[in-house]
Amino acid sequence: MSNNLIYESVIICPECGAQTNKIMPTDNCQSFKILCGGTIAMKKSTTLLKTGIIGSVIAALCCFTPILVILLGVIGMSSAVGYLDFVLLPALGVFICITLYALVLKYKG
């Protein structure tokens, strides 16, 4: 049985019906969006933005509410409460920076 793969595809624009032949990449997996005229562009990923927003919300909840203080007290690790600010505040700053960077990338391109 032959395992020959076909790397050339006919791309058809869903709006105007234009067709073009394209050779598909073989070295990595990417998602593509078909533009009018048959050109291909990578779809914009929102993973970075989602990561920044979720991380910011979690870090903010842990910084500004006593969630971690109560949790650490319940499991007997209340001695670690004094060190939370050394971890949570920088984490909050990092996630806010990730969110801002993702927003710049989203609206720039």
φ, ψ of residue 10 to 5 degrees: the values are -95, 120
CA dihedral sign of residues 56, 60, 63, 68: negative
pLDDT tens, position by position, 50-97: 899 999 999 888 888 788 888 888 998 888 888 888 888 899 999 999
Q: Give the per-residue pLDDT at 81.
A: 84
In the numeric block, the tokens 């562009």 are attached to: 41
State the Cα–Cα distance between residues 44 and 3, nearest whole angstrom.
33
Segment 29-42 shows an average pLDDT of 54
Sign for the CA dihedral angle at 46, 50, 56, 57 comes to positive
